[in-house]
Amino acid sequence: MRDFSRVRRIVVKVGTNLLSSGEGIDEGRVRDICRQIAELKNMGYQVILVSSGAVGLGARELGHRNKVVHIPLRQACAAIGQPILMSHYREAFRKEGVITAQVLLTRNDLNNRKTYNNLRSSVSTLLSLGIVPVFNENDVVSIAEIGTAFGDNDRMSAMVASKIDAQLLVLLTDIDGLYTGNPKKDSSAVLLDEVDEVTDSIIAFAKGAGSTFSTGGMKTKLLAARIAAMADCATIIASGYSPDVLVRILKGERIGTYIHPSIRLTQRQRWIINNSHSGAIVIDDGAVEALEKRHSLLPSGVTGVSGAFESGDVIQVRRQDGRLFAKAVTGYDSTSLAMMMGHRSSELDGLLGEGHKDCIFRPEDMVVIDDSSL
C-alpha cells in the first residue's frame, strides 16, 4: 500500500527528455512542473527539484545539434546551459510567487562529512524559508573519469533524498513507470503498480522496458530507488507528461510505479554505502564468517589490497572470488595494509613498529552489501 502519511520532504527529479522540445526547452513543461511544485508547497510539503538539462541547453546555445560527447565541451556546455536552465525556473516559479535557489553538487560534496553537514544545514534553511532549491550536478568540475561524478541525476537525486532525509523521491520521466517488458513491442507487458524491493529480477525488467533518451534510463532509476529505499525513502517513477502528475500522486492516485522503502540504515551506514571507495581489500572465507558474526577484521584474514587509500577512507571489501561483500572505513592505509596482510596480530610489532592495533576496522565501521552498483 502507498502510504504518504509521514511524507514531509519530497525530491522531484526531471530529466532532459521531459524538458526538451524540438525548439529547445519546453517552457510549457517547466511552467507546469513549477505550478505543481507550488501546489505541493501549498499542501504543506517541502520540495527540492533536481533538474537536468544544462548540457543540452548549452549545446543548443553553441549551435550543436548532436549529443556532445567530448568531455571538456560537455563541461563548457554545462557552464553555458546552467544559467539558462535556472532563468527558466526562476521565471516560472516567480509566476507562482515562489523563490528558487541553485545548488550545484559533486559527489565529493556528499562524501565529505564537513561539506555534507554544511549542505544539510543550508538546504534546511532554504526549505524553512519556503524556497524551492533546484539541484544539478556540478558538471563543470565533476566528471566520471576522475571519479567525482554521480554519473547521472537519477542517482544524484536519490543520494540527495537520502542525505536530507526526504521521505519521497519522484522520478519524472517519459514513460508511465516500470513495465514487465517493453510496452512498445510486447502487448502482454504490464505496468507494475508497486515494487517491494529492487531485486535483480526487478532490474531485469528494465532491460526490456522502453528506455528514455536521457543519461539514465529505467535501470538507473531502479538503482536510484534502491539507494532511496535504504534511507527509508519511497520512490515513484512516473510520466511527467501525465497531467497534474505530482499533485495527483500526493493526493493518493495510483499513478506510476511505487517502490517501497526498506529498513532504515543509520546516517553513518548510509554515508559508508554512498561514499565512493578509494580502494579495495580481499578477505578469506574465515574473515567473511568472522565479520558476519560482527567481529573486527584482523590482518590475518586479508589476502589482497588494491588501490591507494588512507586511514579513514571508505574501501570495498571483496570475497576471495571477487564478489563485493561490504564497504568499510579502514583504520589503516593501503601501504601498511599490504605489509600487514596475512600476518598474525602478534607479528605486527615486528612489521610496523610497536603500538599498532590489530583491528583493521570494527563491525560498526562496516556495512554488508550484496550490490556491485554501490
Query: Which amino acids are annotated as binding site, given as ranges?
Result: 13, 52, 139, 153, 173-174, 215-221
Contact pick of 54, 80, 131, 206 for ligand GLU (by CB under 6 A): 54
Give yes or no for residue 177 binding ligand GLU (CB under 6 A): no
- Do 288 and 319 form a contact (C-beta atoms < 8 A)? yes
What is the C-alpha to C-alpha distance for residues 167 and 164, in angstroms, rounded to an integer? 9
| CB-neighbour burial class of residue 290 (10 A; exposed 0-12, middle 13-18, buried 19+) | middle
Q: Find the shortest distance in angstroms from Cβ 145 to ligand GLU.
A: 15
Cβ-Cβ contacts under 8 Å for 271 (sequence gap 6 or more): 113, 116
C-alpha neighbours within 13 Å on the C-beta side of residue 45 = 27
Q: What element of type H or E holds 238?
A: strand 234-239
**Judged by CB under 6 A, which stretch of 52-60, 239-247, 275-283, 306-314 contacts ligand GLU?**
52-60
User: 265 to 284, contacts with ligand GLU by CB under 6 A?
Assistant: none
Residue 216, interface with ligand GLU (CB under 6 A)?
yes
Q: Which three cell numbers stand for residue 79?
A: 557552464
**Which listed residue (211, 214, 334, 336) binds ligand GLU by CB under 6 A?**
214
Number of alpha helices (DSSP H) and beta strands (DSSP E) in the chain: 14, 15
CB of 357 to ligand GLU, least distance (A): 43
Between 223 and 282, name the residue whose CB sits nearer to ligand GLU. Answer: 223
| Nearest distance, CB of residue 81 and ligand GLU, angstroms | 7
Q: Binding-site residue total for ligand GLU (CB under 6 A)?
A: 15
Interface of this chain with ligand GLU, residues 122 to 141, rule: CB under 6 A: 136-137, 139
Residue among 32, 109, 152, 176 that touches ligand GLU (CB under 6 A): 152
Among 20, 46, 52, 336, binds ligand GLU (CB under 6 A): 52
Q: How far is the CB of 153 from ligand GLU (least distance, A)?
A: 3
Question: Which alpha helices (DSSP H) does 243-352 contain, by range?
Answer: 245-250, 267-274, 285-292, 334-340, 348-352
List the binding residues for substrate. 52, 139, 153
Residues in contact with 227: Cβ distance below 8 Å, sequence separation at least 6, in sequence order: 155, 158, 159, 162, 273, 274, 374
Closest to ligand GLU by CB, 15 vs 301, is: 15
Q: Which strands, in side-by-side order, build the sheet including 257-259? A: 100-105, 132-137, 46-51, 9-14, 168-173, 234-239, 257-259, 194-195
CB nearer to ligand GLU: give 227 or 369.
227
Which residues in this chain contact ligand GLU in the complex, by CB under 6 A?
A: 15-16, 52-56, 136-137, 139, 152-153, 214-216
